[in-house]
Chain A
Amino acid sequence: MSPRALLRLVLVTLCCARLAPLAGASPGIVPAARPPGAVLLAGGRVVPVNGAVLEAADVLLVGGRIAQVGPGLAAPAGAEIVDVRGRSVYPGLIAAHTQLGLVEIGSARATNDVAEIGPLNPNARTQTALNPDSEHLPVTRANGILTALVAPAARASSGSRANLIAGTSTLIRLDGWTWEDLTLRPAVAMHLHWPAMRLPSGTAAAAAQRNLDAQLRQFDDAFAGARAYAQAKAGGGRPPDTDLRWEAMEPVLRGELRVFIHADELKEIRAALDFARRQRVAITIVGGLDAWRAAAELKAAGVPVIVSGVERLPGRRDDDFEAAYANPARLHAAGVAFCIAGLGPGDLGHERNLPVHAARAAAHGLPRDVALRAVTLSAAELLGVGAELGSIEPGKRATLIVTDGDPLEITTRVHRAYIDGAALDLRSRHTQLYEKYRERLRRTGAAQE
């Protein structure tokens, strides 16, 4: 079948789907068939991220992996050949900080499962609370974001008290029937939310400082408690009563589970670095609005930063207007390892705008190739899947997108997307409603050319 004919078939399918009744989360959109057959993406401009751009090259996907990349590849028997001439092939984008699947409608509390209550929840796991039928998944992947870290938030709503240790994050692919299908890594990191350390001025400062100190001590207390628990278990005597929280901390203490510390302001970042030295744990900063101010310390400590949100307001009146925009460029110039993520909590529904954050960083000094890497390979590396995702290389997961241009440009559209070699349905409730009401315009003759 010629690519053109294939495209026609796809369009026909789309039209039929448009007429399907709507109920719940786009039930007409089904996960990709697995295991996938071999696919040859033929003749596209391939941007592998970790190497030189290949004009008019092929990418061969076999068994869910990238088998070969290069010009003039031979398609294995039975392989689907997709003509992507005039298109570009990029690795799927990776959203390194989201609450995808944990919350559907921000202000509808019944749909919100982003955080547990109480300060210490190391045993909370985002993995099992993920809704695979969340409308957010198809909406997000339509913009080329195929992998996401789903992290527990500091608090369920703006009024509630913050978690200190919020639990573990899950790395998901944005396609699957169940949360088990979605899961790439059940536990990527233990998430610590550093309390805001900005003090009120005047006489309230001292009391606020005492409250803050008490909160901060809980981090050390938790780690000490977890260590004591682990030692008691290993001690050979009567095993201690089971404590789910300290059980969950064991992989952290063994160095098997990363620690992600959410911290934005300079004081918080410095305190987090102190904490990491004191507790001898390797940490990653998430948020990092002020990370550029601590770039030298971060580099010296080898602590990477998941810059959570580039399109942000500066934190202080005196900060330059582009303090957040230029943060990645400043980190890059200082040699700090970083990636770019969306805003996380508070950015519900905007996960699909991840490319915008990267482009903004590029507009304010970050080289464009670094900006692209920051939402692909760098993100994969900081999430511990650099060997599997984030670039177009043989052996990696065949998670990639076919676009009509630079995926960091807003006007660029994603025409095809593959997760582990299987083609995704890129429609969503949004496209379905679009088609439905385009039809109204057509029928009423109201559409203007």
Chain B
Amino acid sequence: MHSLPGLRRGVSLLAALPVAAFAAAATAPVEGLRDASPRLHALVGARVVTAPGQVIENGTLVLRDGLVAAVGAGLAAPAEARVWDVRGRTVYAGFIESESTLFLPAGWKPSAAPAAPAEGAEAPPPAPAVAAESSGGARSWHPRVQPERRASRVLTPDARGADALRKLGFTAAHITPARGIVRGQSALVSLGRGSFNRDVLRDGVTQPLAFELVGSGGGYPVSLMGVIALLRQTLLDARWYGDAHARYREAGGAGLARPEANDALAALGPVVRGEQQVFIALEDELDTARAAALAAEFNLKLVLRGSGYDYRTLRTLPAGVPVIVPLAFPEAPAVEDPDHALDLPLDRLEHWELAPGNAGRVAATGAAGALTSAGLRRPENEFWPRVRKAVQHGLAADRALAALTTVPADVLGLGATHGMLAPGRAGSVVVASGDLFADEEAEVLLVFVDGEPFELDAWRRFDARGTWRIAWSGAPAAAPAEIKVTGRTPARLKATAGSVDATVRTDGTRFTLLAPGRWFGLAEGTVRLTAHPDAGALDGSGELPDGTPLRWRAERTAAAPANRTAPKPLPPPVARADVYPAGAYGRRTPPPAPEHMLVRNATIWTSGPAGILEGADLLVRQGRIAEVGRNLATPAGALVIDGTGRHVSPGLIDCHTHAGLTRGVNEGSHSVTIEVRVGDALDPTDIVLYRQLAGGLTTANILHGSANAMGGQNQVIKLRWGEDAAGLKFRGAPPGVKFALGENVTRKSFTTPVTRYPVSRMGVREIMLDTFTRARDYERDWAEFRAGRSPLPPRRDLRLEAGLEILRGERLIHIHSYRQDEVLAFIRLAEQLRLPVATFQHILEGYKVGPEIARLGAGASAFSDWWAYKHEVIDAIPYAGALMHQAGVVVSFNSDDRELARHLNTEAAKAVKYGGVPPAEALKFVTLNPAKQLRIDDRVGSLEPGKDADFVVWTASPLSGYARVEQTWIDGRRYFDTGEDARLRAETTATRAALIQRILPERQRALGAAAGSGDNAGDEPARPSVLQVLAQLAAAHADGAHTLYHDGTGHSCKHLERP
């Protein structure tokens, strides 16, 4: 039970309420006198909105024993009912807050107070630290997997928090654990007086899962791809757990090894059986597709909490999934200083204009949409204005009401009892002064929770605005006969007599006026007046400057003029909602794919058997290369490009990049993490993809980093800028995995002591061998089960399955490697285990063991000329590529660097310079050879009939430093073109300028308001400490900690990952 002293002034509703409010569980013995107050209320004369779109004018609503007893027009109030005169008011069914951490202890909420949010990104709180309570019992091995915990068991009364939500009109809230990766059961709770025996409406409503990162201190996982891998394994474990225990029970248990006891996996049973909903709070627009993929993989019943950027990726929103939409719109960006404004990217400026339309756009997909106040910094000031803004920006008012009533009731399992006003349904009601969804001044006055009234300050507040005629007693004759009370709100008033203002101070029920003596014909002094409402009048007293008491009474002669102005219709937005990625250089549609296209009369570097053809043509049909040769016939309607003076090469291929990977490049927490998938964490918004297209790059191999011996599964992509994550993937590219040797794996350059195995090159070999032997044992376990020799199924282990895929030759190894000793050791291991080694990556000393690499059949994906950055590259030489090539190794030059990948063609030229590789062969280092290494050379890498039409038009020989790209084509579509680029630049510039003009008026208002409160230190935002600032800066620059829409810089393996 809460205590009164804890309540602040102005939140003192409790005092006015019957003792019954404190009734505890019905099962509890009555102490003292029982409370048998009638629980019967009649709300009379209101506009009753019984459900979205259903209105009863001048209606009566009767609540009896916590339920709606009757609702209708012209009903008589029962005689014994307490009658509430709500004429002119609007009555709604109680609103349901769809996501809240109210009543939850600290260990269930995000750990840190939200740091100063970036403009435009106020929604997602910072990543929480490891959840606290993880000890004892049969739990998950992972401290942040706690599905067995239940919010309902730890609810703690929070009168202020409940009051704050009721003030917004919420009568129930979905209490959602907000910490961990698998967070624990949520509960739907009435916002009554904290008697949870009564108020818990439904337990186990959802199981929240989250793509939560907590930084490297939290252990596995430290990357988004690791988190998704952990979720996948956990859900598989939950399936296995149910199955294994069922079979164990069936078999009677005798003679069998009992499957482990695990509360966490047991608690996930309903989730994997599709019986319990999964709640996923999206942190960014790309999480939508990630959540959808996880749900599809495991047949999960999904409820999504949107990111606020949902409008950008609506096409990835799975059908039929409800979305809870936050209202965290950005403040107007600080664009007043042009130099500062330069640093604000267009996507952020556009989001300022588009964010309020997010809810409307989500609703327009047909998705059931709910609204939440979660994520707002000052919900009391922000929530309703933003709901109305969302309505103004396209969310139908009925949908907005549904988003607070029927939708959350249905989604959260209370559709039969909540969300509408009808006999038998919950007596949870909101009384507002007007239409909350349209009227800028409308406010919540009164709330009933399960039939119990909560009078808000606004309900009892007297609105004194208007013109008053005053009768004075004991005042000088000059006292004003009439005053006008004006103010923007009923709480901030001034009084005027003649043209002289008096200060008014009010708490809503009592008014104090400080009137200048002049009001009374006095030369000096201040007259103090006070009054309280009395049957519509003001009954007052006061004192003249000399202490003489006086009395006064005021009758209202005119109401305040309505200062309500109809909201101006919105001008059409300047921001473009139809480009992707949002902001600069986004595309509206994929580039067109002409049926036929022909490059005429160019120098064509085929990278195929035809070599370099001068004065040749390239014919493309339906996205594939049809023919390369001289004097080809032009098919009717073909798009023809004059290649005179131009060179054409295959699209360049980068066999080692980390661009396009978000929220962690390394899952370096464990030495073996081959279950994590780069493909789960792609970032199609990475601007560097566009910039690399402009350098002729068309295909890239996105690799896990090199922080551990057996890293994650790589993802080959095509640089189809404008597509979503799925659209980037190179379908049909054989799967692969990243391994690593040497300094990074053994943490040699860390200054802190290293405890993770291995710490020497000896151990690197052993951990690999150990993983593969485990994988073989795992395979045997399954074989025995399938052969019926064991009744209990082995647990599926994605880590070992990845190991088996490698052993079976189905998953190609790309291994980060430097020194010849470690390379040779791995070659021998690979020979022994018959591992499919696609590439040695970096392979700086590969030139010393070229013959051995060639015999293994592995490729070398090397740096052209890097050296001197760390000790193990002491023998790196730029001739390595040529020497390995001479030894018969398929050699490619990769980038591992965002800038370098913009000119792999000149990297290839270094093979000519250092070691004399012939030009046509050298170009293959960045075309055919990486395609061979990735086993995609049947599709890309050379200009030969039947292959994908991925090619580049250059102004000069691609091996020349003076060459620049004019066009880059992928799948027969022109993804980069200098002319189009110029148009996109112009569009960016023009859109920025127009948006800034839109933003400036709002910004000027904000600056004016700040200047107005200049010497009022209390209004200044809290100043963060230097440490906080530094921490924020560090977080912003931390490797792999990029949020989306970054400036395009990022990770490189050249720089060792720090723990």
Is A8 part of the binding interface, using a Cβ–Cβ cutoff of 8 Å?
Answer: no
Chain A residue contacts of B334, Cβ below 8 A: 201, 205
Please report the C-alpha to C-alpha distance between residue A202 and residue B1032 in the assembled complex, in whole angstroms. 11
Q: For chain B, give the interface size range.
A: 35 or more
Chain B residue contacts of A312, Cβ below 8 A: 899
Chain A residue contacts of B687, Cβ below 8 A: 317
A311 lies within 8 A of B899 (CB): yes
Chain B residue contacts of A322, Cβ below 8 A: 694
Is A300 part of the binding interface, using a Cβ–Cβ cutoff of 8 Å?
Answer: no
Which of B190-198, B208-216, B519-527, B883-891 touches A?
A: B883-891
Minimum CB–CB distance from B35 to chain A (whole Å) comes to 48
Known: A433-B875, A437-B847. A207 touches B1029 (CB 8 A): yes
Minimum CB–CB distance from B337 to chain A (whole Å) comes to 9
B850 lies within 8 A of A446 (CB): yes
Known: A203-B1024, A410-B959, A448-B886. A320 touches B981 (CB 8 A): yes
User: Pick the contact of A349 from B694, B866, B898, B914 — CB < 8 Å?
Assistant: B866
Chain A residue contacts of B1032, Cβ below 8 A: 200, 204
Residues in A119-172 with C-beta less than 8 Å from chain B? 135-136, 139, 158
Minimum CB–CB distance from A148 to chain B (whole Å) comes to 15
A321 lies within 8 A of B690 (CB): yes
B119 lies within 8 A of A317 (CB): no
B961 lies within 8 A of A446 (CB): no
Chain A residue contacts of B988, Cβ below 8 A: 318
Is A116 part of the binding interface, using a Cβ–Cβ cutoff of 8 Å?
Answer: no
Chain B residue contacts of A242, Cβ below 8 A: none
Please report the C-alpha to C-alpha distance between residue A287 and residue B625 in the assembled complex, in whole angstroms. 44
Known: A105-B868, A322-B694, A448-B888. A434 touches B584 (CB 8 A): no
Is A333 part of the binding interface, using a Cβ–Cβ cutoff of 8 Å?
Answer: no
Closest to B910 in A: A410
- From A207, A359, A368, name the one whose CB has the most chain B CB atoms within 10 angstroms: A207
Please report the C-alpha to C-alpha distance between residue A317 and residue B120 in the assembled complex, in whole angstroms. 16
Q: Write the B1038-1051 contact mask toward A (1 if CB under 8 angstroms, else 0).
A: 00000001111100
Closest to B887 in A: A446
Chain B residue contacts of A314, Cβ below 8 A: 691, 1047-1048
B964 lies within 8 A of A107 (CB): no
A201 lies within 8 A of B749 (CB): no
Chain B residue contacts of A316, Cβ below 8 A: 342-343, 345, 1047
Is B909 part of the binding interface, using a Cβ–Cβ cutoff of 8 Å?
Answer: yes
Chain A residue contacts of B333, Cβ below 8 A: 201
B118 lies within 8 A of A201 (CB): yes
B883 lies within 8 A of A104 (CB): no
A206 lies within 8 A of B1023 (CB): yes
Chain B residue contacts of A448, Cβ below 8 A: 886-888
Q: For chain A, give the interface size range.
A: 35 or more
Please report the C-alpha to C-alpha distance between residue A317 and residue B334 in the assembled complex, in whole angstroms. 17
Please report the C-alpha to C-alpha distance between residue A225 and residue B879 in the assembled complex, in whole angstroms. 52
Minimum CB–CB distance from A276 to chain B (whole Å) comes to 18
B899 lies within 8 A of A318 (CB): no
A434 lies within 8 A of B1049 (CB): no
Closest to B955 in A: A363
Chain A residue contacts of B664, Cβ below 8 A: none
Is A37 part of the binding interface, using a Cβ–Cβ cutoff of 8 Å?
Answer: no
B118 lies within 8 A of A200 (CB): yes
Please report the C-alpha to C-alpha distance between residue A316 and residue B1026 in the assembled complex, in whole angstroms. 25
Closest to A205 in B: B334
Is A315 part of the binding interface, using a Cβ–Cβ cutoff of 8 Å?
Answer: yes
Please report the C-alpha to C-alpha distance between residue A429 and residue B120 in the assembled complex, in whole angstroms. 53
A201 lies within 8 A of B119 (CB): yes
Q: Write the A382-418 contact mask toward B (1 if CB under 8 angstroms, else 0).
A: 0000000000000000000000000011111100000
Q: Write the B904-929 contact mask toward A (1 if CB under 8 angstroms, else 0).
A: 00100110111100010000000000
User: Pick the contact of A199 from B340, B869, B959 — CB < 8 Å?
Assistant: B340
Is A313 part of the binding interface, using a Cβ–Cβ cutoff of 8 Å?
Answer: yes
A207 lies within 8 A of B877 (CB): no
Residues in A334-374 with C-beta less than 8 Å from chain B? 348-350, 352-353, 355-356, 359-360, 362-364, 368
A317 lies within 8 A of B1046 (CB): yes
Residues in A286-302 with C-beta less than 8 Å from chain B? none
Minimum CB–CB distance from A99 to chain B (whole Å) comes to 11
Chain B residue contacts of A356, Cβ below 8 A: 906, 961
Is A2 part of the binding interface, using a Cβ–Cβ cutoff of 8 Å?
Answer: no
Closest to B1025 in A: A207
B909 lies within 8 A of A410 (CB): yes
Chain A residue contacts of B959, Cβ below 8 A: 410-411
Is B758 part of the binding interface, using a Cβ–Cβ cutoff of 8 Å?
Answer: no
A211 lies within 8 A of B870 (CB): no
Residues in A69-95 with C-beta less than 8 Å from chain B? none
Is A230 part of the binding interface, using a Cβ–Cβ cutoff of 8 Å?
Answer: no
Closest to A442 in B: B886
Please report the C-alpha to C-alpha distance between residue A282 and residue B905 in the assembled complex, in whole angstroms. 40
Is B141 part of the binding interface, using a Cβ–Cβ cutoff of 8 Å?
Answer: no
Chain A residue contacts of B871, Cβ below 8 A: 105, 107-108
Minimum CB–CB distance from B981 to chain A (whole Å) comes to 7
Interface of A is mostly: loop
Is B297 part of the binding interface, using a Cβ–Cβ cutoff of 8 Å?
Answer: no
Minimum CB–CB distance from B825 to chain A (whole Å) comes to 18
Is A277 part of the binding interface, using a Cβ–Cβ cutoff of 8 Å?
Answer: no
B1026 lies within 8 A of A211 (CB): yes
Closest to A440 in B: B848
Chain B residue contacts of A108, Cβ below 8 A: 870-871
Minimum CB–CB distance from B192 to chain A (whole Å) comes to 36
Minimum CB–CB distance from A371 to chain B (whole Å) comes to 9
Is B1028 part of the binding interface, using a Cβ–Cβ cutoff of 8 Å?
Answer: yes
Chain B residue contacts of A34, Cβ below 8 A: none
Is B793 part of the binding interface, using a Cβ–Cβ cutoff of 8 Å?
Answer: no
Residues in B65-123 with C-beta less than 8 Å from chain A? 115-120
Chain A residue contacts of B694, Cβ below 8 A: 321-322
Minimum CB–CB distance from B848 to chain A (whole Å) comes to 6
A317 lies within 8 A of B345 (CB): yes
Is B688 part of the binding interface, using a Cβ–Cβ cutoff of 8 Å?
Answer: yes
User: Pick the contact of A317 from B877, B1023, B1028, B1045 — CB < 8 Å?
Assistant: B1045
A204 lies within 8 A of B869 (CB): no
Chain A residue contacts of B1022, Cβ below 8 A: 203
Chain A residue contacts of B640, Cβ below 8 A: none
Closest to B688 in A: A313
Known: A359-B962, A448-B887. A202 touches B119 (CB 8 A): yes
A203 lies within 8 A of B116 (CB): yes
A441 lies within 8 A of B851 (CB): yes
Is B865 part of the binding interface, using a Cβ–Cβ cutoff of 8 Å?
Answer: yes
Chain B residue contacts of A204, Cβ below 8 A: 115-116, 1024, 1028-1029, 1032-1033
Chain A residue contacts of B985, Cβ below 8 A: 320
Please report the C-alpha to C-alpha distance between residue A434 and residue B118 in the assembled complex, in whole angstroms. 52
Known: A107-B871, A313-B899, A440-B848. A207 touches B1048 (CB 8 A): no
Is A447 part of the binding interface, using a Cβ–Cβ cutoff of 8 Å?
Answer: yes
Chain B residue contacts of A200, Cβ below 8 A: 116, 118, 1029, 1032-1033, 1036
Minimum CB–CB distance from A106 to chain B (whole Å) comes to 4
A348 lies within 8 A of B883 (CB): no
Residues in B849-882 with C-beta less than 8 Å from chain A? 850-851, 854, 865-871, 874-875, 877-879
A411 lies within 8 A of B913 (CB): yes
Q: Write the B449-484 contact mask toward A (1 if CB under 8 angstroms, else 0).
A: 000000000000000000000000000000000000
Chain A residue contacts of B572, Cβ below 8 A: none
Please report the C-alpha to C-alpha distance between residue A201 and residue B1048 in the assembled complex, in whole angstroms. 18
Is A208 part of the binding interface, using a Cβ–Cβ cutoff of 8 Å?
Answer: yes
Q: Show 6 A/B contacts (Cβ-Cβ < 8 Å), sorted by A.
A: A105-B870, A106-B870, A201-B120, A410-B910, A410-B961, A446-B887
List of 9 A-B pairs having minimum Cβ-Cβ separation, nearest first: A359-B961, A203-B116, A349-B868, A446-B851, A434-B879, A410-B909, A317-B345, A202-B116, A107-B870
Extra inter-chain contacts (20) besides given A139-B867, A199-B340, A206-B1023, CB under 8 Å? A107-B870, A200-B116, A200-B118, A200-B1036, A201-B344, A202-B119, A204-B1032, A267-B339, A267-B340, A311-B900, A314-B1047, A317-B1048, A321-B694, A409-B960, A411-B959, A434-B914, A440-B848, A441-B886, A446-B886, A446-B888
